[in-house]
Amino acid sequence: FFEILLCADEGSQTAPIYLTSMAMATLTEHQIRLVDAVQSRDLGRVQEILSSQVVDPNFPCNEDGDAPLHLAVRSGQLDIVRTLVEIGKADVRAQYDRWRAAPINVAARRGYLQMVKLLVEEYKSPVDMPQKDGHTAMSLAELYQHTEVINLLQKLRVGGLAEAITSGDFRKVRMIMEEGLCSPVYPINPEGDTPLHLAASAGHVQTVRLLIENKADVHAANSAGCMPIHNAARQAHTGVVELLVEEFDVSIDAPQNDGQTATELLQRTRRRDVRELLTQLQGRQKKSGLISAVAQGDLPTLNSMLAGGIDVKIKANKDDDTLVHIAASKGDVEVVRLLMEKGAPVDETNLHGETPLHVAAKTGNLEVVSVLVKTYGADITTKQRGGLTPGALAKQNKHVGVVLLLNTMGEKNASPKAPYPMKPRILRPEDAPRPSRHATASMSLLMASRMEVEDPPPKKPQDTGLGPKTSKAACTEEKPQEIGLGPKTSKAACIEEKPQEIGLGPKTS
């Protein structure tokens, strides 16, 4: 590429800069002006350009991929570096150049003590960011024998992270993390190992957790394709393996570049506790795979796992949802059918008291609601903890189709003996029950009076002058065997019906 000599401002007395034709083709006018100001060490123009907010300083500005911040660091311009970072928000982690070197690496390589101190202490630049050849700021300072920079980094405890992890010095690791001087994200050696790889190899559970909390990548692979779980499994550190699998969902079946998995690495040991842990983890891994297959509607995988006899009655999460709850929430009717055919419970509730029917009704999955109710007899009257039935939840969420379906099913399932609303029943005299043998005297009199109406009229009794007339049928109860009306009743009992009319005074037997 031919080079172009550029002076940004006519009549400028500053030193010219050189840009290739490719750089010229990719940079805007404002970017070219900023590069010129940085190269010319013109602090005033840099401040003016950045304050106008017409350009973002985070861009590669030459064939080597340097950003303006790299140029300023390389030339040792502390004030321009401050301006780029504080006004322009330049990224101190930028690795644009062909060496993938962060600005701190450039400063450490050149032995700029004050620049290193500025970047680390004020702008929290990580010093463990490896460049393309694996070197970090510390290793570059050691390589070029910049003693003052080495001492500074050691004083800041930056260079001691790997040592602290390997030795199990948790307090020191925590101190480094709190100061923000080192990030556990980046590799710390040419092999591509991260701090988490080292902690897993050492078996330090507490340190592993701390690094992950500080955004260490549990799936980061080194140049051999080895992840932290492989390191832990190779050394049979069961605590680290269990932590990674149980709390951070790391698979024990992920292979390295050579094809070996954490499972195979664990199987090499003869320790009983390792074998027991592996059995537990494999069971949990299968459970996790089953839940994932249900959630994704992966019928082939689901069929394969169910054919192996895996339990479909498991709880899928901390809310105690069953597999049917999950399938119902996804509206996957085929998965619901498959699970039900394999013996999954239809009316089991979760921690919220909801059955799968509640979930399907709440989300408006009409087809799932229909299958659960019509095919598998799901109970439409069950109330969740809030006191709502599936129909009430559907109504609350305005799923009209589900509401109509559940109302229809409710009417069909209602008892025919007690339809709602009930019509009042009008009792007629003929509906009165026949008296039993042990009916009271009053009931006997009532039945006798009915017979007087229904039977042919009896002969007129003689007037005794004792008051109101009493029918023969009523008084002949003295001989019930003749008319079959139950126990004998004395004549006095007949007269006692209206003693006030007779005027006999106190009742006598």
What's the pLDDT tens digit per position in 329-372? 999 999 999 999 999 999 999 999 999 999 999 999 999 999 99
Classify each residue of 322-332 as buried b or exposed e, where b means 16 or more C-beta atoms within 10 Å of its C-beta.
bbbbbbbbbbb
What's the pLDDT tens digit per position in 410-419? 766 654 444 4
With cut-offs at 50, 70 and 90, classify the pLDDT of residue 498.
very low
Cβ atoms of 64 and 96 within 8 Å: the answer is no
CA distances for 325 relative to 53, 387, 505, angstroms: 53, 19, 82
Q: Facing residues of 19 across strands? A: 4
More confident residue, 51 or 175: 51
Q: Token pair of 333, please? A: 């009717």
Residue 20 DSSP label: E
Collapsing DSSP states into helix, strand and coil, what is residue 283? helix
Closest of 180, 239, 185 to residue 211, by C-alpha? 185
Closest of 180, 102, 160 to residue 135, by C-alpha? 102
**pLDDT score, position 308:** 81
Q: Token pair of 139, please? A: 């290793």
Q: Please determine, for residue 112, whether its predicted confidence score (pLDDT) is greater than 70.
A: yes
**pLDDT score, position 461:** 53
More confident residue, 360 or 441: 360
- R_g over Cα of the chain: 47
Closest of 352, 305, 294 to residue 328, by C-alpha? 294
Mean pLDDT, the chain, rounded, equals 80
With cut-offs at 50, 70 and 90, classify the pLDDT of residue 434.
low
- In the chain, the domains with their CATH numbers are 160-269 (1.25.40.20), 283-411 (1.25.40.20), 471-509 (no CATH)
Q: Please determine, for residue 5, whether its predicted confidence score (pLDDT) is greater than 50.
A: no
Segment 22-39 shows an average pLDDT of 84
Using CB atoms within 10 A of its CB, is residue 217 exposed (0-12), middle (13-18) or buried (19+)?
A: middle
With cut-offs at 50, 70 and 90, classify the pLDDT of residue 100.
confident
Neighbours of 378 (CB within 10 A): 25
Side chain identity at residue 331, one-letter code:
G
What is the residue whose two structure tokens read 């025919």? 416
With cut-offs at 50, 70 and 90, classify the pLDDT of residue 284.
confident
What's the pLDDT tens digit per position in 207-223? 999 999 999 999 999 99
Q: Please determine, for residue 70, whether its predicted confidence score (pLDDT) is greater than 80.
A: yes
More confident residue, 496 or 59: 59
CA distances for 220 relative to 23, 53, 187, angstroms: 34, 37, 9
Cβ atoms of 277 and 242 within 8 Å: the answer is yes
